[in-house]
Amino acid sequence: MFDPTIFDNLKVVLEGAIYDLDLDGEIIVTNRADLLDLATMSRRFSMQFQMQGAKQTYPVAEIIIFSSLRDFATEMIDGDEKRAGCVIEINFYTIIDNVEDHCQMIEKAFTDIWDRRPFINQEISFKYGRKKRLLNKTNLNFERKINENQIDDLKGIVEYSLESLAFLTENFDQ
């Protein structure tokens, strides 16, 4: 019988937690991807969502779980579940118009919401000719792997993501 991998188990829990929020009417799931990269034999699962009632395409939250071939081999061949695991990252996308003030505002809010835990990186981009519409991508990276021992932490990650998205929607849903 098939024994699910760490990636599979984390994916099911994450997907269920996000779809529960969608069914409760708090969010709208806007995208879902479950990818296997045959060149690197890696797996990537992501879900994007917005707050229910958002007026625009942004802000959007995206939670990603990634597992490499090395992670799979460590788990399935070496049997070392302590070193095996997945990387989890969270991205938030929103439109801003004042880089200094808005980036600082987002950094402070996310630092408070996430209690200084993940590393926060922000990237700003714009389409040529539309410089007033700046896309802010805020990436939260825990810089460690998670496995089934942290499966209960996924609920907190989803809750903090929802709180972060609510902040962005309240302040940047134009």
Looking at the DSSP bridge assignments, the partners of residue 86 are 146
Specify if 133 maps to a domain: yes
Specify if 123 maps to a domain: yes
> Distance between CA 138 and CA 170 in Å, rounded?
16
**Cβ atoms within 10 Å, residue 104:** 12
pLDDT of residue 84: 86
Specify if 55 maps to a domain: yes
Specify if 88 maps to a domain: yes
Specify if 12 maps to a domain: yes
Tens of pLDDT along 101-136?
Answer: 999 999 999 999 999 889 999 999 988 887 678 999
pLDDT of residue 9: 94
Q: 10: domain range?
A: 6-172
Tens of pLDDT along 33-71?
Answer: 999 999 999 999 999 999 999 999 999 999 999 999 888
Specify if 1 maps to a domain: no
The length of the chain is 174
Specify if 74 maps to a domain: yes
Query: How many domains does the chain divide into?
Result: 1
% of the chain residues with pLDDT over 90: 79
pTM: 0.93
Specify if 14 maps to a domain: yes
> Distance between CA 53 and CA 148 in Å, rounded?
34
